[in-house]
């Protein structure tokens, strides 16, 4: 069965500093990988996705993620964080069979002024 682990429950970062959120997945074949962001009281917004091809994926709001098969990881990065990036971030994996999306537990990001 597929699974996703986000090791960091909370991360605090200063505005303007870089941000990296970790995601590790478990899946037997090539996974489809996603990062979503959830602002307080809101639904999930898709930041970026990886299906195939270039392992460095660009997304919205200045985010990027890198797929590393050898490490079973899909870490999310942003070079310079803005106060509006304070939110909860979810990594998810979609298996090749069916359309069942499995989410990690989420990482809550707090941005300090």
User: Which span (9-17, 62-70, 74-82, 100-108) binds another protein, by CB under 8 A?
Assistant: 100-108
- List CB contacts of 79: < 8 A, sequence separation 6 or more: 18, 62
- Interface residue with another protein, options 25, 27, 36, 67 (CB under 8 A): 36
Query: Residue 92 to residues 6, 10, 17, 18, 84: CA-CA distances in angstroms?
Result: 10, 18, 25, 22, 22
- Closest distance of CB 23 from another protein, Å: 13
Q: Which of residues 64-83 bind another protein (CB under 8 A)?
A: none
- Closest distance of CB 95 from another protein, Å: 10
Please give the Cα distance from 31 to 88 (Å, whole number).
Answer: 22
28 lies in the binding site for another protein (CB under 8 A): no
What is the binding site for another protein (CB under 8 A)? 32, 34, 36, 41-46, 49, 51, 90, 94, 96, 98-106
């Amino acid at each position: 069965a597929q699974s996703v682990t986000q090791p960091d429950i909370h991360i605090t970062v200063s505005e303007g500093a870089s941000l990296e959120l970790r995601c590790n997945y478990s899946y037997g074949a090539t996974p489809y990988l996603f990062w979503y962001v959830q602002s307080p009281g809101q639904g999930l917004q898709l930041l970026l996705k990886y299906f195939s091809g270039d392992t460095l994926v660009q997304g919205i709001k200045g985010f990027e993620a890198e797929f590393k098969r050898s490490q079973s990881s899909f870490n999310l990065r942003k070079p310079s964080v803005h106060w509006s990036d304070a939110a909860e971030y979810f990594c998810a994996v979609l298996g090749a069979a069916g359309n069942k999306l499995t989410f990690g537990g989420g990482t809550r990001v707090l941005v300090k002024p």
